[in-house]
Structure 1
Amino acid sequence: MFKKPNRAKNIRQPVIANTPLKSKADKKKTKKSLGLSFDQQDEDDSGEVFQVKKSKASRKMATERKLHLPESSGLTANTQEMPSTYNDDYLASLRASTPALPTSLKHTMTTTTDDDDSALLAEKFPKTMNARLGGVAIPDSNAIHAAKKKRELLRQGVVMVDNEQDFIDVEATTGSRLVREEDDVGDDGEGEFEQYVGQQITLDKDEAKKQEQAQRQDAQDMILDAQEDDDSDSDDQMDRWERDLIKHGGVRAKYEEQVVDPYATPRGYKPALVPDASPLPSLDDVLKRLDLLSTDITYSMRQYESQLSDAQKGMLDLKIPLLEQLENETHDIIAAKQQIVQDRRWLDDMDLLLSFASVPGHLLETDEDVTMDEFGRTPESKFSETSRNRRQGERQDRLQKHSGWTDEADAKETAYWSDDELQGGWLEKKDQKLDDIEGPKLDALLEDVGDEFRTLEAVKSYFEAWKTEFYEDYKNAFGSLSLPAAFEFYVRCELVTWDPFSNPLEFDAMKWHATLSSYGIVDGLEGHEDADIELLNKVVEKVVLKRIKNLLDTMNPVSSQETRYAVHAVEQVSYYVEKHEHPFQDLMIQVEKMIEKPLLRYAALTESATLLANEPHSNKQQFIWRQLKYLKNLALWRRYIPKDSLLSLGRLIVHRIVMPLLRPHVIPGDTDLENEALALCARLE
C-alpha cells in the first residue's frame, strides 16, 4: 500500500575540522554538550566535530593509498581550510579541478594502458576499485578484507568518511540509482528506518516530541497519498474497462423492473355484466313459503324416524334375543342326530381296525369311558368283547332292514354306506320338535307385534312409500344401507327351522326372496331402483350365508347325500356373493375345517397302529373303503374349495390313513387298495 521510498546513498564525504587546535587548558574548560549533532553549521564554533572511528583495516588501507601515490601526480593535498559556505563560483571551480578518476587509479591507468577492460571497470566502479593497491591488478587478502568490512559498516548504518584528499563530492543531495535484484537481497530496510526515526539522536524532550509529531504527520500524509493513488488507479482502470466494453458492444441495457400499481386496473380486465333489476318478493311471501316447506319436511322426518325407531329399537331389541334362542334349539336338535351317527361310525371303524392291528389304549379311551357314576361304578369299556359283539349285531339288523342289500354280493357298497339312519321313531320326534318351533313358538314371539310390523310385506311397504314419495330424503338418509338390517329379523324367522343339509330348498322358492325381489321397482318411475338393486345380495350375505355357517357342524362329511345338499347350498350362495369376497372365502375355510377334523383323529390312530401277523384281509378292506369314502365326497367340492386345500386333504387320507395299513409287497390284495386310493386322489387335481 505504501510506496517504497528511495534509499539514501551512504556517500562518504570528507570531514574537515574547521575548529583550530586548542591547548590542553582550553580543552579542560570546554563545556560538555548534552547532545550530538552531525550538522556542523548548526553547532557553535567552539564545539567538537563528531567523527566516525574507522576500523584498523580501513586505516591501514588509507595509509597504503597515501604511500603508493605516484610522484608525477599534479594533485597536491588540500590542507587549506574549507570555507563554511559554498557559492556558485566556488562550486564551478571545484567541478573544473575535480579529476574524472581517483588519483590512485590514474596511476594504474597510466601504467597499464594496455588493459582496456581494467580501465573501463575502474571508470564504472571507482569506489570498488579504490580498494586496490597501487600497481597491483589482483587485490590481495587485505584489500578483500577491507572491502568486506566496509560493506558490513555500511549495512550497520555507519557513515564512512573518505580520507582521499583528491575526491570532493560535488552533489549536495543524494541521488537515486537503478535498484538491482542483488541489492534487494541484502536490503534490511535501513533507509525506511532512518526516514521515520531520524538521523539525529535528540536528548531534548521538547525537540524529540516535535520530531515525533512531525514523523507521525509525515506518515499520515504518506498513507493518504498512497490511498489517493490507489483510488485514482482503480478509478482509471474501471473507466478504461467501461470504455472497452462500450467500444466492443459488451454492455447490456440495464433491466428496470416495471413498477406495478396495486390500485391500477388489471390488464385484460372486463367489467362484470350487471343484470337487470328484478322486483324483489315481499318478506311475507317468503316467510310463508319457508314455513310450509319446513313443516312438511319436519313432519315427514318425524314420521319415518318414529317408524324406524319402533321397528329397530322398540321391537327388534326385544325380539332378536328370543329368536336366537329358537335358532339354538333347532341347532341342538339337528346336531343330536349328527353326534349319534358320528359316534356310531367311529366305534364300527375301531372294531374293524382292532381286528387286524393293535392300537395304543390311550388313543382309544376318552374321558367319558373312565368316568365313574354316582355309585362309584366304572362303565363297561366300549371296546370290550361284549360291546363289540353287540354293535356287530345291531349293524347286521340295520343292513337287513335296508332294502336291496345282501350279505356278501355288495361288500364294497356296504362299506360305502354312510349308515346315518336312526331307528326307534327318532326322525318323527325330530320333525315334531321342528314343527313346534316353527308354529306355536314363532307365533308367540310375534304375538305382541302390531299388524303393520308383523310381516315382512308390511315393513317393506313403509320403506317403499318413503322411497317413492320422498326420494331425496330417502337418498340423503342412506335408506338403502338400513334395509338389510330392517329385513334381517323377518328372514331369520322364516329360516329358523331350515336344515340345508337334509332339506334342500331353492332360494328363489322361499317367501322372503319373492317379497324382496320386487322392492324398489315402481311402474312409471325410473332410476329409483339403482341404489337397492343389491338388496338381495346383501340379505343373502348377511342372513343366509351366516345361517349355513352356523349349521356346518351338524353336517356328516361321510354322507354323499348331505355333501351334495351342502354343495348345492354353497352354489346358490355363489350366485349372490362373489367367490373372491371375504364372506364366501370364510365359509369355505369353515367347510375345510369341518372335513379335516375327523380325518386328523383317524390319522393319529393309523400312524401308531401295528399290523397283526394273521390279519383278516376282509376287515382291512372294509376299513380302507370306509376311509376312501371321504375322497369320493371331496371331489364334489372341487369348484369351491381351493385346489391346494383340496389336495392337502386328499394326501392326508392317502398317506396318513391308508398307506400305513397296506403292505403291497407282501399281500397282493393291498396293491389293489393302493391303486384305488391313488386314483381317487388324482381326481382331485
Structure 2
Amino acid sequence: MAEPTVVFKRTKSKHAQRARVSTPDPDAASANGGKAEEEVEESVTSIAAKLKKRSKTRAKPKTALSFGGEEEEGGETFKVKKGAISKDLMLSKGVGTALPELEIPRHPTGPTYDAAYLSQLKASTPTARPALPTDAYDADVSMDVDSFAHLSALSAIPDDTAETAIPSASSILAAKQKRERLRANKGGDDYISLSLSKRDDFSQGPHPESRLVREEDELGDADDEFAEYTSAKERIALGKKSRKKEAQKRREEMNEMIVDAEDEDEETKEWEQEQLRRGGLRAQAIEPVAKPVYKPAPIPPVTPIPTMGAAIARLTQSMSELTTSHAQHSTSLTKLGEEQRILEQREKEMREMIAKAEEKRSWFSAFRDWIESVATFLDEKFPPLEKLENDHISLIKERADMIAQRRRAEDADDLALFFGTPPSLQRPPTDELDELGRAVPSVNSPAARANRASARASRRVLRRATNQQRAQEEQEGYSTDASLPPADAEDYRIAMGQLLADAKEIMADVKAEEFKDPNAGLGKWFGEWRTKFGDIYTGAWGGLGMVGAWEFWVRLEILGWNPLERPRSLDSFHWYGSLYKYSRPSEDDEDDEPELGPDGDLVSAMITTALIPRVCRIIESGGLDPYSAKDIRRLIDLSEEIEVSVDKQNQKFELLLKSVYTVFNTAITEIETTLAPFIELNQPRFDPQAIPARRRVLARQYKLLRDLLQWRKHAGDRYGLGNLTTRLVTSSMLPVAESGWEVGGEEMMRKVAQALPAELVPPSLQSLRAA
C-alpha cells in the first residue's frame, strides 16, 4: 500500500528526534502516479497562489525563511514571490528536454476539456524531475538549519524523480571510516582532497616538523585575499541565539536578492527566456518583435480661404490693440520720466539738505564754542562789576543819609524856636567819648544848633555869591538843604573818580576786540545766526538771548552814572545805538525809519532788563531828593525817554513808579516823625527868630508838596499819590501854619490851596482857595 502524499505545511518547532522517512514503493508510485502527480501539482499551485496573494497584500516582505522547516518563535514567514518564469519552471519540472507541442483546439469561446484531451495531457506530463549532476554545487541549497527537526521536515518532502532512501547508521559509519583511511593513506582513486594545493608546493618554514605555523609563513593559499569568495570568513553558529542570528542574516540576504530579482527590466527577462530556451526547459515560443509600421502623417482638413472683410477686421482689431498698448506704454514712459525727474529733484534737494545740515552743524559747533568762551568771560568779569555797583550805591546812600540827617536837625532847630523844646530833647548831655577820648557833643545842644545855623548861613552866602541871579529868585529854605559841605563834597567827588577808574580796570586785561566791543562779537555772531537760520533763531528767541549776554557791557557802561545827578540822554550811550541798529537790519532810505527785524525792539528789552532795575535801585538808595525840583524835572525827562521804548503798563515801568512813590512816602513819614513831639508839646515862647524859623519849615514842606504834585501830574494818581498829598497838607503843614496864622501861616496855606487840585483841597482850606 502506497504512503500518502506529504503536503507542504508548517509545523511548530519541536525538539524531537529526527524521524526516519521510509522510501516510497516504486510500484505504488507508478500505479498511483497520475493521482499523486495531480495532487502534487495541485498542492504546488495552491502554495504558489497563496504566496503570490500574500506578497501582494503585504507592502514589504518580512525576513523569515520557510523551506518546510519549523517556524521560529516570534518570526514571520518568508514568502517567495514567483514571476512568470518561475511558473513556467514549475509546470515543466522534472523534464530535461523541451516539452512537446500539444495540439490544443482553439475555440473562439475558450478551450474544451474532454476525455481525449485530458488523457493526452496526462500521457505527455512527466512524472519526475530531471536528474541533477552529482558534482554540481548549489550555494543556495547549502544552508544551515536551526535544528535536526528542519532536516527531518526537509527529508519528509516526497521526491518524484526516483527512489530516495536515507542511509542507515551503519552505512554512514562505514563511509566515515573509509574516509579516514583514505585521508591517512593519502592515496587511492576514491580519495579527493579538499585542498586545491599540496603542502609540498609551498615553503615549510624554518621548522617543518612543527605543527605550529607562523603567520608570516602562511603563503600561497590567499585566504585573506579571496575570503569573500571562499567562505573563509563564515563562522559556524553553535548556540541557539547565534544560529537564529545567522538564519536571520541569511534571510535578509535572500530577501535582498529576491527584491533585486523583481526589479528586472525587459532586457533581463528576454535574456532569461533565451537561456531557458537554450537549456531545453521551455519550448521555443518566443514571439517575434513587432516591427514598427509606417504610418503616414494625417492630411489636415481643407480650410477655406479667408475673406477680405475678416482679414481687415482682424487687422483692425490688432491695430487697435497695438494702438492701446502703445498709448499705455507711452503713458508708462511718461510716468516713469516724471518719477525719474521727481527723484532727481528730490535727490538734488536731499544733497542740498545734507550740505545745509553739515554747514549748520559746523556753524553751530563753532557758535557753541564761542558761546562757551563768552560764558567763561562773563563768569570771570561779573563779580567785580557787581562789587563796583554795590560801592556806587553805598556812596549814594551815604550822601543821601548825610543830607537827610542835616535836614532833620535843621527842622528840629526851627521847630524848637516856635513850639518849644520837647522833654526828650532836653536831656542832659552824657559823657560820651570818641575813640580818641574826646567828649562827643550832643546833637541838640545849643552849641550844635549854633554851629548848624552858622554853617547854613555860610552855604547860603556862598551860593548867592556864585549865582547872583538865581539867588534873588530863590526863597529861604530852597537852595542850601541839598548841598554837602565843601569837605564832604570833595570826598564824594574823589570816591566817584576812584569808582570810575576801577570800572576801567575790569576790561584792562581784555585784548580781543570781540570781547571789548559787543557789537563786534555778540552782534556779529547773533546777526549771522539770524541771517542763515532765521526760523531756528526766531524759535529759540535768539534776540533775548543776545540781550542777556549784552547786559554785562550795558551795566559796565552805565556804572557810576546817576541820571538825576548827571543828566544824559539814553541815545548817547554806545549800547543804545548798537542795539538800535541790530534791531533794524533792513537798510532803507535815510528819510524813512527802518523796519524792525524779527526780534522787535531790543532797546526796549535792554531798558527793562538792565536800565530800569539799576535806576530803581539808585532812586531808592537816595539818588532822588524829593525836596529838589531839579531832580524831579530830570526824573520826569528820564521817565518820558523810557516811555518811548517801554509801555506804561509794563511791569518794569511800574517798578520805577513804585520806587518814586516810596521816596515821597519816606520823606513825609520823616516829617511827621520829627513834628510829632513838638506839636504834642505846643509851648510857644517869645523869640525873634520864631517867625523866620516857621517860614523856613513851611517853605521846605511846600517845596516837597510842589515836587509831589509835579510828579503826580506826570505819573497820574498811581499807588495813592493823591492821598499822600492830602496827608502832607493836613498832618504836617496845617499844624505848623496854625501856630503862626497871622505871621505868615495864612499866606502859606492860601498858596498851598491854590497849588492843590480841586479834588485834593481839604475842607479847611476851601475858603482860602475861593478867596
Give TM-score scaled by structure 2 length: 0.48
2:684 aligned with 1:623: no
Q: Shift in Å at residue 524 of structure 1?
A: 6.7
Q: Shift in Å at residue 290 of structure 1?
A: 5.6
Question: SS of the counterpart of 2:626?
Answer: coil
List alignment gaps of at least 5 residues for structure 2. Answer: 1-330, 761-771
Q: Shift in Å at residue 670 of structure 1?
A: 2.6
The residue aligned with 2:451 is 390
Is the 2:393–2:618 Cα contact (8 Å) retained in structure 1? yes
The residue aligned with 1:416 is 478
- Mark the CA change 1:403 to 1:586 in structure 2 (over 3 Å): closer, same or farther: same
CA RMSD, 1 decimal = 3.6
The residue aligned with 2:389 is 327
Within the candidate set 343, 347, 358, 2:405 is matched to 343
2:753 aligned with 1:678: yes
For 2:497 and 2:438, the matched residues in 1 are separated by: 40
Q: Shift in Å at residue 394 of structure 1?
A: 1.3
The residue aligned with 1:539 is 606
Is the 2:403–2:481 Cα contact (8 Å) retained in structure 1? yes
Is the 1:650–1:684 Cα contact (8 Å) retained in structure 2? no
For 1:283 and 1:530, the matched residues in 2 are separated by: 33
Within the candidate set 707, 710, 720, 1:636 is matched to 710
For 1:323 and 1:540, the matched residues in 2 are separated by: 18
For 2:430 and 2:635, the matched residues in 1 are separated by: 33
For 1:684 and 1:499, the matched residues in 2 are separated by: 35
Within the candidate set 682, 685, 692, 1:614 is matched to 685
Give TM-score scaled by structure 1 length: 0.54
Q: Shift in Å at residue 605 of structure 1?
A: 3.4
Is the 1:369–1:382 Cα contact (8 Å) retained in structure 2? no
The residue aligned with 1:96 is none
For 1:614 and 1:410, the matched residues in 2 are separated by: 32
For 2:705 and 2:758, the matched residues in 1 are separated by: 9
**What is the identity, as a one-letter code, of the residue corresponding to 2:368?**
E
Show CA shifts across 1:616-647 (max 9, x none): 32321221111111011112212114267222
Is the 2:538–2:599 Cα contact (8 Å) retained in structure 1? no
Is the 2:419–2:683 Cα contact (8 Å) retained in structure 1? yes
Question: SS of the counterpart of 1:379?
Answer: coil
Q: Shift in Å at residue 490 of structure 1?
A: 0.9
**What is the identity, as a one-letter code, of the residue corresponding to 1:335?**
K
2:552 aligned with 1:489: yes
Is the 1:651–1:681 Cα contact (8 Å) retained in structure 2? no
The residue aligned with 1:591 is 660
Q: How does 1:513-552 map to 2 (within 5 A)?
A: 513-522=576-585, 529-552=596-619
- Mark the CA change 1:491 to 1:282 in structure 2 (over 3 Å): closer, same or farther: closer
Is the 1:327–1:496 Cα contact (8 Å) retained in structure 2? yes
- Mark the CA change 1:369 to 1:644 in structure 2 (over 3 Å): closer, same or farther: farther
For 2:588 and 2:754, the matched residues in 1 are separated by: 59
For 2:353 and 2:741, the matched residues in 1 are separated by: 98
The residue aligned with 1:233 is none
- Mark the CA change 1:291 to 1:575 in structure 2 (over 3 Å): closer, same or farther: closer
* Farther off after superposition, 397-406 or 455-464: 397-406
- Mark the CA change 1:338 to 1:684 in structure 2 (over 3 Å): closer, same or farther: farther
Within the candidate set 286, 298, 305, 2:361 is matched to 298
Show CA shifts across 1:180-234 (max 9, x none): xxxxxxxxxxxxxxxxxxxxxxxxxxxxxxxxxxxxxxxxxxxxxxxxxxxxxxx
List alignment gaps of at least 5 residues for structure 1. Answer: 1-272
For 1:684 and 1:566, the matched residues in 2 are separated by: 25
The residue aligned with 2:143 is none
Is the 1:371–1:379 Cα contact (8 Å) retained in structure 2? yes
The residue aligned with 1:80 is none
For 2:588 and 2:418, the matched residues in 1 are separated by: 75
Question: SS of the counterpart of 1:416?
Answer: coil
Show CA shifts across 1:243-271 (max 9, x none): xxxxxxxxxxxxxxxxxxxxxxxxxxxxx
**What is the identity, as a one-letter code, of the residue corresponding to 2:376?**
G
For 1:550 and 1:431, the matched residues in 2 are separated by: 20
Show CA shifts across 1:262-297 (max 9, x none): xxxxxxxxxxx9993412459998886564333212
Is the 1:491–1:543 Cα contact (8 Å) retained in structure 2? yes
- Mark the CA change 1:289 to 1:650 in structure 2 (over 3 Å): closer, same or farther: closer
Within the candidate set 499, 506, 521, 1:437 is matched to 499
2:552 aligned with 1:478: no
Show CA shifts across 1:412-442 (max 9, x none): 7022224322333544443443333334542
- Mark the CA change 1:439 to 1:413 in structure 2 (over 3 Å): closer, same or farther: same
**What is the identity, as a one-letter code, of the residue corresponding to 1:423?**
P
Is the 1:628–1:653 Cα contact (8 Å) retained in structure 2? no
For 1:613 and 1:282, the matched residues in 2 are separated by: 102
**What is the identity, as a one-letter code, of the residue corresponding to 1:539?**
M
The residue aligned with 1:569 is 638
* Farther off after superposition, 593-602 or 658-667: 658-667
- Mark the CA change 1:514 to 1:665 in structure 2 (over 3 Å): closer, same or farther: closer
Q: Shift in Å at residue 680 of structure 1?
A: 2.9
Q: Shift in Å at residue 530 of structure 1?
A: 2.9
Is the 2:554–2:575 Cα contact (8 Å) retained in structure 1? yes
Q: Shift in Å at residue 465 of structure 1?
A: 2.0
2:516 aligned with 1:454: yes
Is the 1:606–1:660 Cα contact (8 Å) retained in structure 2? no
The residue aligned with 1:402 is 463
Show CA shifts across 1:446-501 (max 9, x none): 52463222212212122212222332332343312212102111111110011111
**What is the identity, as a one-letter code, of the residue corresponding to 2:699?**
W
The residue aligned with 2:565 is 502
For 2:480 and 2:732, the matched residues in 1 are separated by: 18
For 2:486 and 2:703, the matched residues in 1 are separated by: 27
For 2:586 and 2:497, the matched residues in 1 are separated by: 39
* Farther off after superposition, 623-632 or 638-647: 638-647
Question: SS of the counterpart of 1:403?
Answer: helix
